Structure 1
Amino acid sequence: MDAAPLVGGVADAVFHHAREDPHRVALGRKDAEGGWHDVSSGQFRDEVLALAKGLISQGVRFGDRVALISRTRYEWTLFDFAIWTVGAQSVPIYPTSSAEQVLWILHHAEVSACVVEHEDHAMTIGSVISRLPLLKRLWQLDAGAVDQLFAAGIHINDEVVHRHRRAVTPDSTATVIYTSGTTATPRGCVITHANLMFESDTLAARWAPLLRSRSGSTPATLLFLPLAHVFGRMVQVAAIRNRVRLGHQSTLRTGELLPDLAAFRPTFFLAVPYVLENIFQSARRRAETEGRAGQFDRSVEVAVRYAEALEHRAFGLGPGPAAGLRVQHQFFEKAVYARLRAAMGGRVRYAMSGGSGMDRQLALFFAGAGVAVYEGYGLTESTAAATGNPPGRPRYGTVGQPLPGTTVHIAADGEVWLHGPHVFAGYLHDRKATDTVLHEGWLATGDIGSLDEHGYLTITGRKKEILVTSSGKSVCPVALEERVRAHPLVSQCILVGNDRPYIAALVTLDQEAVDHWLRMQRRKPLTPSQLVRDSELETEIRRSVVAANSLVSQAESIRTFRILAHPFTEEQGLVTPTLKLKRKAIEEAYAAEVAALYR
């Protein structure tokens, strides 16, 4: 697919699939006891139809905006498709948003109805309701909202709903997704039905192997990304439209995610690098606890070499893995790699990664361990992915080639520009901001990147995040930060140095990893204030800084760093809901610590 669809809307697929095969398993739904139950395409169609009737009975009309505030769960997908069925527009809001953030989005988007997950969200709405004269309806999922709307719409004729659905065209607005706002007030990205359909169907066509199960059983994916983010929404739409069994999980925390991966048994999943890093570190900590750390580390080295040899063969740079390497790989397949895959349900063979850059060595390890990770790149304004590594020919460390129908251009200053049917319609109520990023259909992304001789894109940083030292040296912080963060004890790293004599870093710790490290050294637990002064820990972190500095010249290197007692959190306003660091906010919050780095 390389052009926008000519007719219909996102929700049509729900009704088409149910008509063609009403008994096909479409979704998996988790009950209160943690068990998974199949939902057929016919059952899902009936629930979407019943909910759409309920929305109409409560005054939701074509073109109205309905906000959704919830973690990732089955009901979100149900509401999304019901809203699209009646021609309304969904406005996702992160469940961790503050009252002022919720107020801004509800007011700016002129939302007339809102769905919240639980009482805390309802109370947040209640605290600002006096300033929202257009908000007329509020439904709470944990208070029976779905059943209430089912009952309210029972008298509505099915044909009323279908008239609304048939009125939806590809250029109709499907959703308004607000950017996470690392540097400015969030802006509402207007995403059309055509944007979503082109994006999801193009990805499904390009990565067709992900949708085919080796055993012939139903392809399945467990969605644990936040549905308030464009990446999660795209996964949801792609799964429903392309007959992939879809399950929901509400947290990225490894301790809760791994049991659901094991129980749901997806054939592939889509993640941010943070999740894959945590799965890897969890596996290594388990191996170290069992006295197998040496074996695990050797298996990592073999997996990386094996995947790299396959990569070289794909690009005509080598014959592939040598006989000795294949023997070693086969040994570790039984001893290590199969165990890792079993922890993810046993059927996973593919994953897609986006949202931020992924370490090349980590991607090579997973590929060598039997889980090919295809890294991609995109923005909210491009309806998620614009590029991605193709099946069978990934270049690890890059974000792949343009999707079919997409064109990537590198401007004179290194900025990445995108063109294609997935590029958004503009920012809601903000023509000036729209005109700054859209130029005759081209989207100026604000990201700096380069294209290699094979057309693979590498992202090196953000234009607004380039650090310029007092000597005039320009430094892109992303690659250095990612290399420091690759150390298992490091949680976050942010570089500073604008208008200062050299580059320095603030580093936070992964508490679970630190606790494990102390146990393995037979040391007592340390308080946060003790950790930041611990000489052995400082030595460990210094190793990661030295490794990062090997990537750059001395003028660009990290000269000094400080370990912080506590991580940067969303509650402090220092990271976005998708875990991106808010640089300006962090530098302001830690002004004293930054100043101390230059004394």
Structure 2
Amino acid sequence: MSHPATLTTFAHWAAQTYGPAVALRSGTQEISYVELAERVDNCAGALARLGVVAGNRVALLADTCPEWTICDLAIAAVGAVCVPVYPTNSAQENAWVLGDSGAKLVVCGNDEQSQRVGAVPAVGLGELQGGPPAASPEVDPGDANTIIYTSGTTGPPKGCIITHANWWATLDGITSLSAMGQGSTMYLYLPLAHMFARTVQLATLLSGATLVYWGGELSRIVDELAEIRPTHIPSVPRLFEKAYARVASMLDKEQLAEYGPSIVQGVFGGRVVEALTGGAPIAKEILEFFDHCGIPIYEAYGMTEATALISSNSPGAAKHGTVGRSLPGVEVRIADDGEVLTRGAHVFPGYHNNPAATTETIVDGWLHTGDLGELDDDGYLVITGRKKDLIITSAGKNLSPANMENDLRQCQWISQAVMYGDRRPYAVALITLDAEELTRAGLSHEQGRELVGAFVKEVNERYAPPERVRRHAVLDHDFSVEAGDLTPSLKVRRKVVFERYQALFESLYDN
């Protein structure tokens, strides 16, 4: 697909290509591709009058909404660098991102958000109005378009520099594999500060499809899916896991096969042709169930440093239990120690203000992902775990916790599971309950603990004795982003959990 070399003129290119087609929808509001370009111009003009010039860093702190997309494209239009900030960040976390990036300005979605940005000048999304900037900036494909801060599961977030050329490498790969196009509808509830959602945003507009934003309430997602009837859904596995657990709890095995498809189709609106998931493993059983229901879920794999995607399953080329083949133009190989390495135009140039981390991550052009994996005979990639999460018991047994944790999370009553056992005689686990599911079923916390205990025994039977969870503990509360146990993209901060619950983990080795 022919497109501009940088994102500075992307909105105008899209307007010329797709014209009156609906680009963005939120509730009853619809914005055509032509109107999108006009709004981007107005926002870009306002930024220019505030003194923003090419190369400046502009932070964007707002919820997922059309104005986020407009401002993102406007920042690109003036040649500046967008620094997305999670709305759930604390003032302390914001201070790190804003300080490390050197942000000149913060664009905020509301007054409460503007109170968490310290001394950095702030302006509201609604205030960015006016005519287009006087002149188009000179921007090269190799210039930075954005600095995206990783969630920081083990330490302070690092700013990943993503260039215009990086974006096109990934976006061209996606559009060559996806069936998305004019007439398609993409439902987006993920935070746009996350690389996955940001990529979905750009890929949707590149394809001429319609990006439909959620209303902002988690409790309304199921209702919105039925109302919006999207053709495409990107999500972390949890949405599909909860849908499967809910339906499976209502029906026996035979009923699930017979009535499951109609129920699931109703929940997801009846028009889904592609669902994309990544960020965490998803059980093969769930993928097979959704296939049976006529909703193919394509598992993908990537990281911010690789501009979101390295490999993906796709229509006509999908294999459950894998994260697909590498995207066009992407090289993947497995190092001697099992680490997944990748090379290509999708690999970022480095971390902002952190040359030491860059040198450690990119060696001879190969990005070291930190993930462990295997390539099968057909070139499909299988992720087996995270290198730094590997548990080596005192008996010398190597355990990758990802598979066991994923299997445990398939339980309807379990929200999170974290394995522990490095340099200890056996593996143990800390488990949190899904309070919403317990309440829905009218069960007490103690009844939930008993059900979880039985499920742990069932899962253990699938593993060899040294790989089993010998003992486990169930917390009386769930992990949360607010408490710092989870990243904004809902990944467990293992280091935080290990430190916070150290005494509880150690108690599982008593006697």
Structure 1 contact 389–395 (Cα < 8 Å) conserved: yes
Identity %: 35
Partner of 1:180: 151
Q: 1:171 aligns with which of 135, 142, 165?
A: 142
Structure 2 contact 3–13 (Cα < 8 Å) conserved: no
Partner of 1:243: 208
Residues 268 and 42 of structure 1, relative CA distance in 2, 3 Å threshold? same
Pair 1:562 & 2:486 matched: no
Aligned partner of 2:308: which letter? A
Structure 1 contact 483–544 (Cα < 8 Å) conserved: no
Q: List gaps (5 residues or longer) in structure 2.
A: none
Aligned partner of 1:399: which letter? V
Structure 1 contact 7–169 (Cα < 8 Å) conserved: no
Partner of 1:329: none
Pair 1:49 & 2:5 matched: no
| 1:60-117 Cα deviation digits (max 9, x unpaired) | 1111110011221111101000000110010011111111110011011000010112
TM-superposed CA distance for 1:251, in Å, is 4.8
| 1:94-152 Cα deviation digits (max 9, x unpaired) | 11111111001101100001011222211112xx32xxxxx3x31123xxx2xx321xx
| 1:257-296 Cα deviation digits (max 9, x unpaired) | 12222222211111110111122234446xx3xxxx23xx
Pair 1:588 & 2:494 matched: no
**Once superposed, what is the RMSD of the aligned Cα atoms?**
1.8
Alignment of 1:17-96 (within 5 A): 17-30=14-27, 36-96=28-88
Higher helix share: 1
Aligned-partner SS, 2:301: strand
Query: Aligned partners of 1:21, 1:473: CA distance in 2, in Å?
Result: 57
TM-superposed CA distance for 1:343, in Å, is 2.0
TM-superposed CA distance for 1:198, in Å, is 1.8
Aligned-partner SS, 2:51: coil
Query: Aligned partners of 1:50, 1:223: CA distance in 2, in Å?
Result: 24
Q: 1:455 aligns with which of 364, 368, 379?
A: 379
Aligned-partner SS, 1:124: coil
Partner of 1:508: 432
Residues 558 and 251 of structure 1, relative CA distance in 2, 3 Å threshold? farther
Partner of 2:295: 371
Partner of 1:326: none
Pair 1:149 & 2:128 matched: yes
Pair 1:232 & 2:210 matched: no
Query: Aligned partners of 2:501, 2:239: CA distance in 1, in Å?
Result: 27
Alignment of 1:326-405 (within 5 A): 332=258, 335-405=259-329
Query: Aligned partners of 2:222, 2:449: CA distance in 1, in Å?
Result: 31
Pair 1:298 & 2:254 matched: yes
Aligned-partner SS, 1:170: coil
TM-score, reference length from structure 1: 0.82
Pair 1:268 & 2:232 matched: yes
Pair 1:542 & 2:507 matched: no
Query: Aligned partners of 2:235, 2:153: CA distance in 1, in Å?
Result: 20
Query: Aligned partners of 1:371, 1:260: CA distance in 2, in Å?
Result: 17
Pair 1:140 & 2:124 matched: yes
Query: Aligned partners of 1:540, 1:369: CA distance in 2, in Å?
Result: 28
TM-score, reference length from structure 2: 0.96
Structure 2 contact 307–346 (Cα < 8 Å) conserved: yes
TM-superposed CA distance for 1:336, in Å, is 3.7
TM-superposed CA distance for 1:459, in Å, is 0.7
Partner of 2:221: 257
TM-superposed CA distance for 1:11, in Å, is 4.1
Runs of 4+ in 1 over 6 A off after TM superposition: none
Query: Aligned partners of 1:189, 1:18: CA distance in 2, in Å?
Result: 30
TM-superposed CA distance for 1:541, in Å, is 1.2
Residues 109 and 540 of structure 1, relative CA distance in 2, 3 Å threshold? same
Aligned residues: 510
| 1:338-381 Cα deviation digits (max 9, x unpaired) | 33222222211210111111111001111110000000000010
Deviates more, 1:12-21 or 1:387-396: 12-21
Structure 2 contact 8–78 (Cα < 8 Å) conserved: no
Alignment of 1:366-445 (within 5 A): 366-445=290-369
Partner of 1:118: 110
Aligned partner of 2:128: which letter? L
Query: Aligned partners of 1:112, 1:103: CA distance in 2, in Å?
Result: 13
Pair 1:278 & 2:275 matched: no
TM-superposed CA distance for 1:592, in Å, is 2.2
Aligned-partner SS, 1:450: strand
Whichever of the two has the greater Rg, that structure is: 1
Aligned partner of 2:100: which letter? H
Partner of 2:405: 481
Q: List gaps (5 residues or longer) in structure 1.
A: 31-35, 130-134, 303-331, 520-524
Residues 15 and 464 of structure 1, relative CA distance in 2, 3 Å threshold? same
Structure 1 contact 381–424 (Cα < 8 Å) conserved: yes
